[in-house]
Structure 1
């Protein structure tokens, strides 16, 4: 685990970062030894190790598991059985994963000690931003956070999403550290009414626009939701600023009291300035225009978030886009030690103290199935250019747990491997023997959207499904389009969108293209354009099923019939690929 250090001391943070990334092997061996010795008497470990707590026995006897393999143990603890089924320390709560693909969050145990470690982990990153971006320490952060109402397990354990957990860990009676770095008061950031919280965070940011040095949200997608919300509410925000009066629909006490510290008098000059910028024909660079002293946008824009990079670059007007860290509900893992890297080049340096990490080498055609033990290596034994699925063992009771993320080794920082996030380890689309994963689909869609630029159109969001009701079956991609110009009517040209269909197909691998052109086993790819706001409706559906706005990611494959009904009801036009793609046996991408 991370040794104790002063998180408010930048030199201490940077020194610790150098130390833990240098002594990687020693730390990893120590972490595994500590986890096994502490948890030796748990029912789970006893059943496999029978007291043999050395590394060799761990690797030989303990199975590599998915959540569903391990779920019965988690459910037993959640339902009231003793915590020492899987962990030596009591759990303080259960974290809910985002679960947007399947629609139902997973439950993941968390100890108070592990929560403290995650907060320390987050502290390691801030000094890197100050070091690499001049002037960022001269203002505060306008970071948009949203909490989700917590639930309980059958035995009374709280169930929270990760960002809700972090926000609620701040003591509201002693939040001076929060107030020192954040524009919005803690009370507003923890409002459970998302719309009221978002509105008041924006209002705080506009009222203190000259003091905003950093903008952002946990993920690129959630920050874009904020921008869309601003687009719908800027005139009302201006009215509040002009009159010094808060809108009547803001009724949550913590929002009313929180904003009362800043909305103290009419400010017609500021209202006119905001109105002037927001009423312009184009919103290109709107963030820089509204917050002139902002130095960067912080939001994870890697993996499935990469598709939002062009939109954030459009709205940001040249502000650097920073993906700060890599983590999950199961474990916090790595940080970006080069904050100014382009989003497409971001690699995360694994912090070896956060858990014990193993890596299963992945080939292009590898999917679920039996694990070859010889393909599992330790953190220090990964090879540059190779792809691996991450396997974690944590202090909170997860053992050899397949996280499902595929990472590509790009280099080393001191002795700590650096990884590029590739994709989730699963097939997204398959009609026949074709296997199109998340990375393949994202690259293909990105290539196709280049055709939209000359028509001043932007892809706002997308998802996909396989339509098996036709013969042969075919891929369907849902697109929500936007314009670079405000209030412009979205009327996509049929020829352009059909060429987009074809461009996607041309970008897919040779197996898909062969099945399309020669074997005729896959039908023409289809793009269905949906009306503005359709993906907000999709998000609201998943939020109603227990997901969290702060952690929500648009699923790249939709299988839920209810979710598909939302999308299909929003379709305004449909386009099919006009011809079959070429088929030359290009070299297959192996992930190396």
Structure 2
């Protein structure tokens, strides 16, 4: 498929970032100045300086009433000069609840950025153009708003849009499989197609690192059945989606005993180290987002791939597409994204300074910023909730490292769990403990991704209200399991959805530690890290392997939630 441009476009965009950003803002204001929202501040003017002076910085909560009105049937010109044709459903990364973002019927920016990113990868990864990519993609059923407009995650909206152009020629899986909304059938069929095409695969990936690890775990459960399908030339009967079944059957073809034996031999070995490289020997790289909370899955992906390059292609959110990785083979710890100035109008709040708002080209090297988005679909100076650090410049365009979510402190998949959420869960546990002889004297947690799926682990130091004769802590299994369940029930709806419905998060675990454990933890931070005792605060989340060792040495007992939390 011809992309219609070459990498000179990247040079042009990044060299003329200021002018392009000015042009983007002018275009947005001319289209939207007379909307109900903007006219309150601009009175029909499209003046850029008036925009910066009068239009307030907002969060999603501020614009949600306008979005809800359109979703309920009021005209699009409440927010957008162009008709709103769909609503994108976020993953809930910015808060504990999913959000709806309006979209116009224009995906040219996204397709352009994806094509540009592919050109960059082709430049750096030898042979990338010559093979097929096995990128695991999934869609969800389309729902609708009260007025009948489509509502779904961005990937689903894009793949099901009329102007979507399929990359099927370069993909191991045909569209019919990717568009299957049954996640289990979809994953199985994508794996089956990928195994049949094993000698052509040059890249293996998924949108997020956590999802790719989940795929490998799925392969571990189903490789024998996949081999049976390949050996017989027939797909399993439980694949009931007719489009999937027909597509896979065509790719599967005649029985292939040699391929089935090869896969069986590799998957049947004791260790799965390098399983990706062993099953798909021509793979040049792993494509998945490994920044932010996804960084915790890097060791697993390196283990499964024999340390193939991990490529995080793009940086985007439901609010806007931001940028691409122009150095795709850089190590994850050095990974930065170059913003594309034609995507939206970008401003940045200095989070470490006095909160000054600056334009894209005026950010300072080393500075930490929260981006604001003004897009074509009706968002104006809207906070995204990410914190980015400026690591350099590509021509005149800044490059950013994803530093953290502004509020999230714990995440296993893409769910956001804030300090406030964790404290709420802790409160639920203490309510359960009130009926017992135990009191809580210490608490911290971490996301354990050594299991698949990963799960939350809470370390609790408990003390008996009344000491018994032996001095031993008497732990009631039923009580502690009840604590686990109560904590899960109090976490966000996004957490509960991924835990109960999709299975991307495992059962919450409580590990009870010996008394004095949190004193040892404080000693570790004071002695090893140079912390001050007067300023020391027990970390609400642990991200140090050494600190975890301190806790693990003191574990007395482990308890797991025995039921999924209600949705």
Structure-1-length-normalised TM-score? 0.75
Instruction: Name the residue aligned to 1:419.
Output: 400
Query: Does the 8 Å CA contact 1:142/1:216 hold for their aligned counterparts?
Result: yes
Which residue matches 1:390? 371
Q: In the superposition, relative to structure 1, how do residues 464 and 221 fare at CA in structure 2: closer, same or farther (>3 Å)?
A: farther
CA distance in 2, matches of 1:384, 1:7: 37
Q: In 1, distance between residues paired with 2:86 and 2:500?
A: 20
The answer to whether the 8 A contact 2:204-2:287 is kept is: yes
**Per-residue Cα deviation, 1:353-398 (whole angstroms, up to 9, x for no partner):** 11111100112xx9xxxxx6x6111111100111001101001100
Question: Within the alignment, does 1:169 sit opposite 2:161 as a pair?
Answer: yes
Question: Secondary structure, in 3 states, of the residue corresponding to 2:146?
Answer: coil
1:21 aligned to which of 1, 14, 22: 14
Structure-1 separation of matches of 2:445 and 2:154: 33
Check 1:464–1:310 CA distance in 2 against 1; reply closer, same or farther (3 A cut).
Answer: farther
**2: CA distance, partners of 1:145 / 1:192:** 11
Q: Is 1:409 aligned with 2:390? A: yes
Cα RMSD, aligned residues only: 3.2
1:439 deviates by 12
Residue in 2 aligned with 1:542? 497
Q: Deviations over 1:431-460 (max 9, x none)?
A: xxxxxxx9999xxxxxxxxxxxxxxxxxxx
Offset of 1:581 from its aligned partner?
A: 1.7
Give the corresponding residue for 2:253: 264
Partners in 1 of 2:266 and 2:82 — Cα distance? 54
Shift of 1:477: 3.0
Which consecutive unaligned segments of at least 5 residues does structure 2 have? 411-415, 431-438, 462-479, 537-567
Name the SS for the 2:28 alignment partner. Answer: helix
The equivalent position to 2:303 in structure 1, one of 314, 317, 327, is: 314
Three-state SS of the structure 2 residue aligned to 1:261 is helix
Report the alpha carbon displacement of residue 479 of structure 1 after superposing the two structures with TM: 2.6
2:3 counterpart of 1:8: yes
| Pair 1:86–1:539, CA change in 2 (3 A) | closer
Change (3 A) 1:574 1:314: farther
Confirm whether residue 53 of structure 1 aligns to residue 46 of structure 2: yes
Offset at 1:567?
3.3
> 1:466 touches 1:476 (CA, 8 Å); kept in 2?
no
Q: Distance in 2 between the 1:301 and 1:227 partners?
A: 16
Cα 1:301–1:580 change in 2 (3 A) is: closer
Tell me the distance in 2 between the aligned counterparts of 1:546 and 1:355. 35
1:571-590 to structure 2, matched below 5 A, reads 571=509, 573-575=511-513, 577=517, 579-582=520-523, 583=526, 584-585=530-531
Q: Decide which of 238, 241, 255 is 1:252's aligned counterpart.
A: 241
Q: TM-score, normalized by length of structure 2?
A: 0.78
**Partners of 2:363 and 2:418 in 1: CA distance:** 23
Residues 138 and 186 of structure 2 are in contact (CA less than 8 Å); yes or no, is this contact kept in structure 1? yes
CA distance in 1, matches of 2:91, 2:14: 29
1:147 aligned to which of 112, 119, 139 = 139
Distance 2:261 2:172 in 1: 22
Q: Which structure 1 segments of 5+ residues have no match?
A: 1-5, 367-371, 430-437, 442-462, 484-496, 503-525, 555-565
Could you list the per-position Cα deviations for residues 457-516 of structure 1 after superposition, in whole angstroms to 9, with x for gaps in the alignment? xxxxxx997624255563233535349xxxxxxxxxxxxx99x999xxxxxxxxxxxxxx
Task: Please give the alpha-carbon distance, in whole angstroms, between the structure 2 residues aligned to 1:377 and 1:64.
Answer: 13
Q: Does 1:475 align with 2:467?
A: no
1:187 aligned residue (176, 184, 194): 176
CA drift of 1:123 comes to 1.0
Spell out the pairing of 1:519-530 with structure 2 (5 A cutoff): none
Tell me, in whole angstroms, the C-alpha distance in 1 between the residues paired with 2:239 and 2:137: 17
The alpha carbon displacement at 1:580 in A equals: 3.6
Alpha-carbon distance between aligned partners in 2 of 1:223 and 1:269, rounded to the nearest angstrom: 27
Structure 1 residues 401 and 101, CA gap change in structure 2 (3 angstroms): closer
> What do the CA deviations read for 1:280-309 (whole angstroms, capped 9, x no partner)?
111000000000011111001111111111
